[in-house]
A and B are shown apart, each in its own frame.
Chain A
Amino acid sequence: MLVVALLALLCGAPSSPGRVVRPARTVVLLYPEARLLPEILAVEDAIRPALDPDGAVSLYTEYLDLARTTDVEYERQVIALLREKYASRRVDLIMPVAFPALRFFLSHRAELFPGVPAVFAAANLDAVTGLDLGSDITGVRLPSEWGATLEAALALQPRTRRAIVISGTSATDQNLQAAAAHDLARYRDRVEITYLAGWPIARLLDEVATLPKDTVVLFVSLLRDQAGRLFTDPEAVSLITRASSVPVYGWSETHLGHGIVGGRLASFESQGTRAAELAMRVLGGERPGALPVVDGSATAYMFDERQLRRWGLSASRLPAGSIVRYQDASLWDLYGWNIVGVGALVAALALLSTGLLIERSGRRRAEVSLGERLRFETLLAEEAATFSRVSAADVDHEIERALRRIADFLGVDWSTLTEYSEDSRTARVTHRWMAEGMDPQPVAALGLGEIPWSVAQLRRGATVRFARVEELPEVGAAVDRQTYRRLGVKSSVAVPLTMEGVVIGALAFSAVAVERAWRDEFVQRLQLLGEVFANTLSRRRAEMEGQRLRQDLAHIGRVSTVGELTASLAHELNQPLTAILANAQAVRRILDAGQADLIEVRAIVDDIVDDDKRASDVIGRLRSLLKKGTLERSSLDMSELVGQVARLVAGDAVLRGVVIRLELAPDLPPVAADRVQLQQVVMNLILNGLDAMRDSAIGSRILLLRTAREGEGSVAVTVQDCGAGIESTELGQVFDAFYTTKANGLGMGLAIVKSIVEAHGGRVDARNNPEGGATFSFVLPIVQKGP
């Protein structure tokens, strides 16, 4: 009777005919850390939409903060909290993420979630013994790929004798370190493996800074160091790769882009996706025990092009099927300004999104005034946005304004931005803000030697912070302590400004009146701000570099106009020569006439001398015009040079609607050539290509610049355009002087190219592409090593 009524009810429901109504499901995600780590975020981002496409599943998340599990009382409180929280809720599935969360679940499931099935994700079980999953648990294992990563490292660096393996002290760190040791054991015969497990970060950075060349670093995990400092893996990777004297390899996609060369990298996203698939089946009624534990299959050899270049590693030695990312690094060279803009924007977005995350964790932990935090997040986001579009001329002004605003917000007494010189030997305070009544003199005059410990920290990419001067190491930072006391500084925080792994300066905030503790999250925000400033400053440096380059080219312009000037110089030289000759002839006639007025003769001879001086002056001017024109051969990387010139003409290309594409070989052997002259060659070829596409359809204006090895002994540079091409009858003449198809062209550009290239022992070529347009190229001999 009841069944019939229910059926009738179901069938009669017009909104969902034939649809099975299921009660809402509840899934609890267990995370081992107190924070939303990038890896966990990747897992959750994959699980959430897959598991809950139409909002029918209630997802709860628990941040267990297992780094504190040594604290028995803490663990007891967590368990009590969870029991209380879920006592009145029906839980359908538990999803522990990472092994420590799985272990926690296994240890406490009887009292917390009795009889609830579980699907775990991203748990590495390789070094785990005596684990009994039971019949209602399945999941996705995190594969151990350290061996594969080490293999790749050995292929790239065949002389490697030693490997340093880095890990931290958190539960996840320890689990992964054990798995790595398990996996790497089989390489003991080939490589000496040293485990730096749970070192304090400062000591660790010191250690990796001085590693010998036959060493590689394998990064495992460093969520927490011995001193209890917390990191995310990308943060730790950044610090370590900056400090390291040798290449660093990793095993997770989240490490890539933060300074590692690469490795066999695991995808946490795919962990989440596969775990979600299993979870759906369990929620659909299947028994977990019937579903075998699976491996998260998606691992791949992935590498960072910029790091390969940084360490001079040959892409040809990469394992088959490797994915090389960040190949567009040269875009930075090309579109520095724009990218900085985008970069800053990304930083701003990152700020906003971390702001949201912080807000989430804030709600969970309710520690700090949400209002104050939000205001700070907003402030930083606004600053990031401002700096993404600041013009070079306004940089100084804007930085000073930002320093004032932030210092104001923080209630500190002064803030400074220090820029290190390019050789990192000297530093100068480029921007500062001081509260009213402060004497700026002592701060302005502060030398690097007066705070040596702080400077050393910053140079290594580490942060300096202290609430009281006494927190600084008594022995190591004795000088710093003295200086801070002399300046009256009570507390201070300083973050390094880094650009592409190089520390270019520091951003510091100091308080005189109060002792201030600087929270981790706050320091992280400051680091982001530091990145924004670093971007801004380095973009200005790049612009100055560009200016220098342009001056060089202006000089080349002068040299090439010497040809045109010859006529006018000949005229200038002709005048004194004419006068000298006429005077000499006059004096001869006077003498011949036999009635010489010696005073007049003397005057004429004086004039001759003066005019001769004038003639030498003209020659001197010509020489000074050509002063920089002497050939100075040096070892040149043509890829770097082509990239530089491309950056110079980038603006021009944009105006002409031309897309410049770079295919620059990363490890070309050097050629011996005059930098300025070869810049002129490349510049002329690029301008020629841009001109050639003047009448092409906008979307098809692509100029491809390519560098490559040519045979054993040469390097080739090609410039391929999509223009109209060259008349076949004229192919042989394009490099001749005064050959031009342009109404206002002199016809000298390609002739100059030819004469410079041939003067360097190379040769030029021009041909039409089968698919349209023309390709101009030149080949230069490489520097021969040894006799």
Chain B
Amino acid sequence: MPPPRPVVFVVDDDASVRKSLARLVKTAGYEVEAFASVSEFLARAPFEGPGCLLLDVRMPGRTGLDLQETLRAAERRLSIVFITGHGDVGSSVTAMKGGAVDFLTKPLDEEALLTAIRQAVGRTIDEQAEQGRVTAVRNCVATLTPREAEVFALVVTGMLNKQIGGRLGIAEKTVKVHRARVMEKMQAGSLAQLVRLAGTGGIIAARA
């Protein structure tokens, strides 16, 4: 079974532009879904696979920048290529700060457009993979008991079992048992791996 083809979501209020861009992107081997407005796009079921957004900045109702903000708040990883009718410095700065892959001016240069889409899809895949890892770690963390979580948080700071026991007011032997359970639940083969997982999941910051 071949990997699913990336999907490019075209959002532009102008029907001609929408249709023609969909065609062009399709010829480059992508699946295309086109939407006339931000609301229409948001009404679609959240997309988890590879793909990107080709998003008009200025549209009646919610703008492309609004959508960018909405997706970020929802932690949905879908890279964005903005397209705009006229170079608007303010919008482009906002868009790029918000993590847009590119900001292209209409009419669109074919090469620049397809390059940007390629990059955006790649970034989406990377980000989604990263997010998958984080989610997995968090899922593991979620299985820890409160005491195990405390031990986990102190272990990754490099403390010895004796010190941890002193800090938590429990026997060194008991710390050792919790530690083994943590390694097991987190599916970590070594202390180094456990520390890396802690970084990915943001555990240190959250529980220290």
Q: A residues bordering B, Cβ < 8 Å?
A: 567, 570-571, 574-583, 585-586, 589-590, 593, 604, 607, 610-611, 614
Find out whether the CB atom of B108 lies under 8 angstroms from the CB atom of A582: yes
Partner of B106, one of A575, A589, A590: A575
User: What is the distance, in angstroms, from A53's C-beta to the closest C-beta of chain B?
Assistant: 84
Closest to A570 in B: B86
Closest to A573 in B: B85
User: What is the distance, in angstroms, from A568's C-beta to the closest C-beta of chain B?
Assistant: 9
Closest to A608 in B: B20
B19 part of interface (Cβ distance < 8 Å): yes
- Render B13-32 as a binary contact track against A, CB cut-off 8 A, 1 for contact: 01011011101101110000
**Total residue contacts A-B, CB cutoff 8 A:** 70
User: What is the distance, in angstroms, from B104's C-beta to the closest C-beta of chain A?
Assistant: 10
Find out whether the CB atom of A574 lies under 8 angstroms from the CB atom of B28: no
User: What is the distance, in angstroms, from A603's C-beta to the closest C-beta of chain B?
Assistant: 9
Report the separation of the CA atoms of residues A575 and B21 in the bound assembly, to the nearest whole angstrom: 11
Report the separation of the CA atoms of residues A614 and B23 in the bound assembly, to the nearest whole angstrom: 19
Find out whether the CB atom of A589 lies under 8 angstroms from the CB atom of B17: no
What are 22 contact pairs spanning A and B, CB under 8 A? A567-B86, A570-B86, A571-B85, A571-B86, A574-B106, A575-B85, A575-B106, A577-B107, A578-B20, A578-B21, A578-B85, A579-B16, A579-B19, A581-B108, A582-B17, A582-B21, A585-B110, A586-B20, A586-B26, A586-B27, A607-B16, A607-B19
Find out whether the CB atom of B106 lies under 8 angstroms from the CB atom of A583: no
- Which of chain A's residues have a CB closer than 8 A to the CB of B28? 589
Find out whether the CB atom of A570 lies under 8 angstroms from the CB atom of B27: no
- Which of chain A's residues have a CB closer than 8 A to the CB of B26? 586
Report the separation of the CA atoms of residues A593 and B28 in the bound assembly, to the nearest whole angstrom: 10
Find out whether the CB atom of B27 lies under 8 angstroms from the CB atom of A582: no
Find out whether the CB atom of B106 lies under 8 angstroms from the CB atom of A578: yes
Find out whether the CB atom of B86 lies under 8 angstroms from the CB atom of A574: yes
Find out whether the CB atom of B24 lies under 8 angstroms from the CB atom of A585: yes
Q: B residues bordering A, Cβ < 8 Å?
A: 14, 16-17, 19-21, 23-24, 26-28, 58, 85-86, 106-108, 110
User: What is the distance, in angstroms, from B43's C-beta to the closest C-beta of chain A?
Assistant: 24
Report the separation of the CA atoms of residues A324 and B26 in the bound assembly, to the nearest whole angstrom: 85
Closest to B26 in A: A586
User: What is the distance, in angstroms, from A588's C-beta to the closest C-beta of chain B?
Assistant: 8
Known: A579-B20, A582-B20. A593 touches B27 (CB 8 A): yes
Report the separation of the CA atoms of residues A586 and B24 in the bound assembly, to the nearest whole angstrom: 4
User: What is the distance, in angstroms, from B103's C-beta to the closest C-beta of chain A?
Assistant: 15
Partner of B14, one of A570, A575, A580: A575
Find out whether the CB atom of B16 lies under 8 angstroms from the CB atom of A610: yes
Report the separation of the CA atoms of residues A590 and B23 in the bound assembly, to the nearest whole angstrom: 10
Task: List 10 tightest A-B contacts by C-beta distance, closest first.
Answer: A582-B20, A579-B16, A589-B27, A578-B106, A571-B85, A586-B24, A586-B23, A581-B107, A579-B20, A578-B107
Report the separation of the CA atoms of residues A574 and B107 in the bound assembly, to the nearest whole angstrom: 6
- Which of chain A's residues have a CB closer than 8 A to the CB of B21? 578-579, 582
Closest to A614 in B: B16
16 more A-B residue pairs beyond the given contacts A574-B85, A574-B107, A583-B23, with a C-beta to C-beta distance below 8 A: A567-B86, A570-B85, A571-B86, A578-B14, A578-B20, A578-B21, A578-B85, A578-B106, A578-B107, A579-B14, A581-B110, A582-B21, A582-B24, A585-B24, A586-B23, A586-B24
Q: Is the interface of B mostly helix, strand, loop or mixed?
A: helix
Closest to B24 in A: A586
User: What is the distance, in angstroms, from B83's C-beta to the closest C-beta of chain A?
Assistant: 8
- Which of chain B's residues have a CB closer than 8 A to the CB of A582? 17, 20-21, 23-24, 107-108, 110
Report the separation of the CA atoms of residues A579 and B19 in the bound assembly, to the nearest whole angstrom: 8
Partner of A577, one of B24, B27, B58, B106: B106
Find out whether the CB atom of B20 lies under 8 angstroms from the CB atom of A589: no
- Which of chain A's residues have a CB closer than 8 A to the CB of B16? 575-576, 579, 607, 610-611, 614
Report the separation of the CA atoms of residues A731 and B59 in the bound assembly, to the nearest whole angstrom: 43
- Which of chain A's residues have a CB closer than 8 A to the CB of B20? 578-583, 586, 604, 607, 611
Report the separation of the CA atoms of residues A582 and B20 in the bound assembly, to the nearest whole angstrom: 5
Find out whether the CB atom of A590 lies under 8 angstroms from the CB atom of B27: yes
Find out whether the CB atom of B17 lies under 8 angstroms from the CB atom of A578: yes
Report the separation of the CA atoms of residues A580 and B24 in the bound assembly, to the nearest whole angstrom: 11
- Which of chain B's residues have a CB closer than 8 A to the CB of A579? 14, 16-17, 19-21
Report the separation of the CA atoms of residues A607 and B27 in the bound assembly, to the nearest whole angstrom: 17
Report the separation of the CA atoms of residues A781 and B21 in the bound assembly, to the nearest whole angstrom: 56
Report the separation of the CA atoms of residues A607 and B16 in the bound assembly, to the nearest whole angstrom: 8
Known: A581-B108, A582-B108. A575 touches B17 (CB 8 A): yes
User: What is the distance, in angstroms, from B122's C-beta to the closest C-beta of chain A?
Assistant: 21
Of the candidates A570, A580, A582, A607, the one having the most CB atoms from chain B within 10 angstroms of its own CB is A582
Partner of B108, one of A567, A578, A590, A607: A578
- Which of chain B's residues have a CB closer than 8 A to the CB of A578? 14, 17, 20-21, 85, 106-108
User: What is the distance, in angstroms, from A271's C-beta to the closest C-beta of chain B?
Assistant: 81
Report the separation of the CA atoms of residues A577 and B85 in the bound assembly, to the nearest whole angstrom: 10
- Which of chain B's residues have a CB closer than 8 A to the CB of A567? 86
Of the candidates A571, A579, A580, A589, the one having the most CB atoms from chain B within 10 angstroms of its own CB is A579
- Which of chain B's residues have a CB closer than 8 A to the CB of A570? 85-86
Closest to B105 in A: A574
Known: A570-B86, A579-B19, A607-B16. A589 touches B107 (CB 8 A): no
- Which of chain B's residues have a CB closer than 8 A to the CB of A585? 24, 110
Report the separation of the CA atoms of residues A576 and B14 in the bound assembly, to the nearest whole angstrom: 9
Report the separation of the CA atoms of residues A576 and B19 in the bound assembly, to the nearest whole angstrom: 11
- Which of chain A's residues have a CB closer than 8 A to the CB of B24? 582-583, 585-586, 589
Report the separation of the CA atoms of residues A582 and B109 in the bound assembly, to the nearest whole angstrom: 8
- Which of chain B's residues have a CB closer than 8 A to the CB of A574? 85-86, 106-107
- Which of chain B's residues have a CB closer than 8 A to the CB of A576? 16
- Which of chain A's residues have a CB closer than 8 A to the CB of B58? 571
- Which of chain A's residues have a CB closer than 8 A to the CB of B107? 574, 577-578, 580-582
Closest to B58 in A: A571
User: What is the distance, in angstroms, from B194's C-beta to the closest C-beta of chain A?
Assistant: 50
Report the separation of the CA atoms of residues A593 and B26 in the bound assembly, to the nearest whole angstrom: 12
- Which of chain B's residues have a CB closer than 8 A to the CB of A589? 24, 27-28
User: What is the distance, in angstroms, from B55's C-beta to the closest C-beta of chain A?
Assistant: 14
- Which of chain B's residues have a CB closer than 8 A to the CB of A604? 20, 23
- Which of chain B's residues have a CB closer than 8 A to the CB of A580? 20, 107
- Which of chain A's residues have a CB closer than 8 A to the CB of B14? 575, 578-579
User: What is the distance, in angstroms, from B77's C-beta to the closest C-beta of chain A?
Assistant: 27
- Which of chain A's residues have a CB closer than 8 A to the CB of B17? 575, 578-579, 582
- Which of chain B's residues have a CB closer than 8 A to the CB of A577? 106-107
User: What is the distance, in angstroms, from A595's C-beta to the closest C-beta of chain B?
Assistant: 11
- Which of chain A's residues have a CB closer than 8 A to the CB of B108? 578, 581-582
Closest to A611 in B: B16
Closest to A582 in B: B20
Of the candidates A574, A576, A580, A607, the one having the most CB atoms from chain B within 10 angstroms of its own CB is A574
Closest to A593 in B: B27
- Which of chain A's residues have a CB closer than 8 A to the CB of B110? 581-582, 585
Closest to B27 in A: A589
User: What is the distance, in angstroms, from A597's C-beta to the closest C-beta of chain B?
Assistant: 11
User: What is the distance, in angstroms, from B45's C-beta to the closest C-beta of chain A?
Assistant: 27
User: What is the distance, in angstroms, from A613's C-beta to the closest C-beta of chain B?
Assistant: 11
- Which of chain B's residues have a CB closer than 8 A to the CB of A590? 27
Report the separation of the CA atoms of residues A567 and B20 in the bound assembly, to the nearest whole angstrom: 23
Closest to A591 in B: B27
- Which of chain B's residues have a CB closer than 8 A to the CB of A583? 20, 23-24
